Structure 1
């Protein structure tokens, strides 16, 4: 289980508890203003995640307040494209959690806006890597939202945007930090998530524990 202090003990990163779910719901509501309500995690979803895979649910606490959270489940490597709701069992994870799965699928990470820019997301990715190491999991998988597309959607298609991101021709507020954290591009997922600002797309990426591992 995870419990560690970061940034001169200002923040504590630890596994989520059932008593955190209301605050986790609030973090979620503040982090995804353009995401369709059908894809927003609520306290019941978080409680179920903690029930079925407690090691993979992580929060950041500051002075007793949850200011960031990350949700994951164990799986085998996804061979076929799917939507966010399909991949997450309609956000519940019950029917997609594989107890001995080789990969840790990160379905959500949110940091309250007033705490962004401090490097907390990177610390959460590190914490998830610690989970992988402790459980003998190959690495992390994510579908990063192409959230920066909203600013250029009148100038280019989402496919062109993803191609430019893959070539690192410009940056994206979500994809670029994820790649800087160690995630490796696999492929774009079109019609993955119901968020117009993201062009309804995401990018499938992986981050292996063994830096010499490759797909």
Structure 2
């Protein structure tokens, strides 16, 4: 399937809302969907990081949002790095890392390569801007099934080895991202026990 990745605009808001409505149906609270004000802030602050996936017939199949930060290795929450979804205060144009704060794909088009196309576009943006890396806080929704008998670190290590499968982390690994840090209280997420794994893709053009 041919997928076009481009920057989204305010004119795409209705389509973006449709994606979120389908991807996060009730009982997911509507107030957690992107608002028009947040979308406007993404476009004004860092339009290159505001990406939308469009099918040949014009259907909006997915979207993703990123910003630039200085990565210092310190623990952080989604709200801190995302400026509560507005990115105005947290975006650092002179930073060294692209940070992805969301990816959303319509359920109808999952397994058609939409999310993969969005991640590839993010990698391209990293290289185009000469940044060191791409980062994202990765959910581990399978962890709650194993938390009683293993630590979060062991769970991640076993997923990396292929001994366990995690719906989100296993996908991230297939995109070439590597776990580098476990983040506590990253976002309210019952399945992940409010944890996330910070994953990284290094720019191969930059040697340290």
TM range (shorter): 0.7 to 0.9
Equivalent residue, structure 2, for 1:47: 40
CA drift at 1:153:
5.8
Rounded to whole Å, the distance in 2 between the matches of 1:32 and 1:108 is 13
CA separation of 1:130/1:179 partners in 2, compared to 1, >3 Å: closer, same or farther?
same
Equivalent residue, structure 1, for 2:8: 16
Structure 1 unaligned runs (5+)? Answer: 1-6
Rounded to whole Å, the distance in 2 between the matches of 1:48 and 1:185 is 29
CA drift at 1:189:
1.3
CA separation of 1:202/1:35 partners in 2, compared to 1, >3 Å: closer, same or farther?
farther
Q: TM-score, normalised by structure 2?
A: 0.87
**Per-residue CA distance 1:150-174 (angstroms, 9 max, x = gap):** 5x26855662533533443211111
Rounded to whole Å, the distance in 2 between the matches of 1:88 and 1:104 is 12
Equivalent residue, structure 1, for 2:70: 76
**Superposed CA RMSD:** 2.4
Q: How many residues align?
A: 205
Equivalent residue, structure 2, for 1:124: 118
Equivalent residue, structure 2, for 1:60: 53
Structure 2 unaligned runs (5+)? Answer: none
Rounded to whole Å, the distance in 2 between the matches of 1:57 and 1:31 is 18
Of the structure 1 ranges 67-76 and 26-35, higher mean CA displacement relative to structure 2 is found in 26-35
CA drift at 1:32:
4.0
Give 3-state SS (helix, strand or coil) of 2:39's partner.
helix
Residues 49 and 57, structure 1, Cα contact 8 Å, conserved in 2: yes
Rounded to whole Å, the distance in 2 between the matches of 1:144 and 1:32 is 17
Are residue 147 (structure 1) and residue 141 (structure 2) matched?
yes
Q: TM-score, normalised by structure 1?
A: 0.84
